[in-house]
């Protein structure tokens, strides 16, 4: 079990390093989740679906801008969902903001 835990810890650290995260964050990997970002009065919100439920989290600002890092086919979004999470989402699953 120690080997699996070590592999998980190292893989998570390596993954966050790819996105330039200098802090350790819990991560939700939602590769099949539809998602979009909305801005309201200077606050950005991540709207996403998980287990058939539509959820909203507040995106954390870093350097005065929403903390998001887009790579080729995935995006990391750091948001608060009771605690601060790094969300890793597939770019092709991003939907248009429909205002609701």
pLDDT at 24: 83
pLDDT 10s digits, 9-66: 888 888 888 888 877 888 888 999 999 999 999 999 999 999 999 999 999 999 899 9
Task: Please tell me the predicted confidence (pLDDT) of residue 100.
Answer: 53
Residues 77-87: pLDDT tens digits? 999 987 878 88
Residue 30 pLDDT: 92
Enclosing H/E stretch for 40:
strand 35-40
Q: Whole-model pTM?
A: 0.73
Q: Can you give the pLDDT at residue 56?
A: 95
pLDDT at residue 82 in the model = 78
In this structure, is the dihedral angle defined by the CA atoms of residues 46, 11, 52 and 34, taken in order, positive or negative? Answer: positive
Q: What pLDDT shows up at residue 23?
A: 79
Q: Which helix (H) or strand (E) holds 27?
A: strand 27-30
């Amino acid at each position: 079990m120690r080997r699996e835990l070590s592999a998980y810890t190292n893989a998570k650290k390596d993954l966050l390093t790819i996105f330039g995260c200098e802090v350790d964050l819990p991560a939700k990997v939602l590769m099949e989740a539809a998602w979009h970002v909305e801005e309201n009065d200077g606050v950005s919100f991540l709207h996403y679906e998980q287990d058939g439920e539509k959820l909203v989290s507040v995106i954390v600002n870093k350097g005065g801008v929403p903390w998001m890092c887009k790579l080729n086919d995935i995006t990391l979004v750091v948001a608060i969902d009771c605690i601060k999470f790094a969300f890793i989402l597939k770019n092709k699953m991003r939907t248009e903001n429909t205002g609701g």
